[in-house]
Amino acid sequence: MSINRVNISGNLTRDPELRMTGGGTQILSFGVAVNDRRRNPQSGEWEDYPNYVDCVVFGARAEPLSRFLAKGSKVAIEGKLRYSSWETKEGQKRSKLEVIVDEVEFLSSRSGAAPMQQQGPAFNAPAPAPAAPQQSYAQPVQTPPSTDVYDEDIPF
């Protein structure tokens, strides 16, 4: 069994590029910079080293996402890895690893300056008092009969 899941958070390295296939499928591509911390051998200080990750969104979510993402936006991405390889016109072999995005969480405002604030009613307001229960139709909880299960009985 193998698991292909990726979770990253970082800043967009460029404005997203929206394009469309000949068949009408929308494709949104963008890059995310993710920092790795390493100790500098000469100075002994911790330093950030960026990793640049290519991300792709397919389908109906591509166009709406393109309106909310911009260079510098902080996002959290969940998706899966996909490896692609091809040969250039000059005969050189190329390859890349990219994230096929399933979920995007916006961690900064549209300007990219500060974390997003929740819009709508204040969440500090006291909750209304619960109404008195009218009639309960719940059945009493029954505990299942105990069974003796041993590790040897489990077939995996």
| 58 domain residue, yes or no | yes
Element (H, E) at 55: strand 46-58
pLDDT at position 13 is: 95
- Specify the pLDDT at position 86: 92
pLDDT at 120: 36
The total domain count for the chain is 1
- Provide the pLDDT for residue 153: 53
Residue at 138 is within a domain: no
| 117 belongs to a structural domain | no
Q: Which residue has the tokens 């009408």?
A: 24
pTM, two decimals, is 0.66
Q: Is residue 61 a part of any domain in this protein?
A: yes
Q: Is residue 112 part of a domain?
A: no
Rg (CA), the chain: 25
Give a yes or no: residue 124 inside a domain.
no
Position 86 in a domain: yes
Predicted confidence pLDDT, tens digits, the chain (156 residues): 889 999 999 999 999 999 999 999 999 999 999 999 999 999 999 999 999 999 999 999 999 999 999 999 999 999 999 999 999 999 999 999 999 999 999 998 655 444 444 333 333 334 444 555 555 444 454 555 555 555 555 554
For residue 15, the enclosing domain spans 6-37+46-106
What pLDDT is stored for residue 122 in this prediction?
34
Say which CATH number the domain at 12 has. Answer: 2.40.50.140
Q: Are 79 and 8 in contact (CB under 8 A)?
A: no
Give the model's pLDDT for residue 110. Answer: 58
Beta bridge partners of 76: 9, 105
